[in-house]
Amino acid sequence: MNILMVTDVFFPDVIGGSGRVVNEISKRLVREGHNVYILTPRLNRNLPLQANIEGIRINRYNVNSQNIVAFVASSLINAFQTFRQMLKKISFDLINFHHPLSALGVNLSRKAQEIPKVYTFHSSWPKEYEIKTGRTGIGSFMRKWVERRGLNSCQRIVVLSEYTKRQILSIHKTSPRRIEFIPGGVDTERFGLPRDKEASKAELGISSDKSLVFTVRNLVPRMGLGDLIEAMGIVVKGKRDVVLIIGGRGFLEEKLKRQVKDLGLESYIKFAGFIEEDRLPLHYQAADLFILPSRCLEGFGLVTLEALSCGTPVLGTPVGGTKEILGRLDKDLLFKDTKARSMAEKILFYLTFKDISVLSRRCRDFVSSNYSWNRVVTEYERVYSEIIS
């Protein structure tokens, strides 16, 4: 099949969960013999408009980031024009939308209406806007309209979790019969068990006599990192030989660093900044615990699977897709709520957990049995074939 992936973000152009899902699925579809094309904005001017990465044919279009109006207008116009240019050379069997804005640009073309379409729903654009800004109004209304138009143009909608399915049903009143559940996956070879945890810690500059707690997140409010820092203030009162590494970037970075300083936790909490992809497995493997402190909108959580695949137990808030993944493995890995004290109590318990090696093996086996990318791609091929036939 000639498959067009239409996405607002694509890894490695942009670091993030949904872009990585698009990348992983696309790579494996190529290996299965399909021709996969990417249509995505060029958010970095240093990137070429066209590229071929592992057989994936990438087509980027320019955007004007001067302000939100210019960004939206240029996104729609240039996505539309780039799609039209691609149609002159390629006859697409199927389009897979992943995000609403680029989807609307493609749907401005009448020819797009003739091509079977699938929408992979990662998260709700209007809900993200409301949580980020604290506002509803016209901004939320327009995002909801754009997202709904993309969804309604497709024969099937794929969700990664029951949580995102409930989002669609409540926000857009979509028929449940159109929705397919296909979770995300993990590369179990790349994210493997550590050969030597002490050596992994040493490579990160952590003493072998220290317990290492790790998280990697965008440094934005919904990720709950302020709550985790507050929890660490409680943890170190009961266990002083512990270090938390926070990976990631975001506009809250300075505020979070001030919070660490105000709590006197500089010796216990380290900010790693952006962690390169080839260094991520090392961080998971060195950690004794991985923490997912999200407050809301955790649609799935690839990092949860990556940590578990490395044999690192994950403790997470009972939010969105995290509740589903950890609930299947062991409900005791879920915090009681999103509050700092609940996090601290469970972190302290698992830092002294006697059967941690047994739990580590269970984590790895759980992911290997349930979340392989090959299984995910087989399900996508099934959905594609059903709507084309």
DSSP state of 176: G
Edge-first strand order for the sheet with 289-292 is 269-273, 242-247, 211-216, 289-292, 314-316
Strands of the chain (E only): list them. Answer: 2-6, 35-42, 50-53, 56-62, 94-97, 117-121, 156-159, 179-181, 211-216, 242-247, 269-273, 289-292, 314-316
The structural domains of the chain, with segments of one domain joined by +, span: 2-185+372-388, 197-370
| pLDDT at site 136 | 84
| pLDDT at site 337 | 94
Q: Secondary structure of 4-49 in the HEC alphabet?
A: EEECCCCCCCCCCHHHHHHHHHHHHHHHCCCEEEEEEEECCCCCCC
pLDDT digits (tens, 9 = 90+) for 103-123: 999 999 999 999 999 999 998
| pLDDT at site 288 | 95
pTM: 0.86
Which has the closest alpha carbon to 17: 320, 357, 335? 320
Task: Return phi, psi of residue 118, to 5°.
Answer: -125, 145
Measured at the alpha carbon of residue 377, what is the angle toward residues 375 and 382, in degrees to the nearest 5?
A: 100
328, 316 Cβ separation under 8 angstroms: no
What residues have CB less than 8 Å from 361, skipping those under 6 apart?
311
| pLDDT at site 127 | 86
What residues have CB less than 8 Å from 136, skipping those under 6 apart?
130
| pLDDT at site 266 | 95
Distances (CA, A) of 104 to 69, 75, 164, 221: 15, 9, 21, 28
Which has the closest alpha carbon to 294: 220, 197, 387? 220
Which regions in the chain score pLDDT beneath 50? Answer: none
Report residue 266 as tokens. 């500089």
232, 269 Cβ separation under 8 angstroms: yes
Q: Does domain 197-370 fall into CATH 3.40.50.2000?
A: yes
Expressed in angstroms, the distance from the first to the final Cα of the chain is 12
Report residue 87 as tokens. 């149609």
Superfamily for domain range 2-185+372-388:
Glycogen Phosphorylase B; (3.40.50.2000)
Same fold, 2-185+372-388 and 197-370: yes
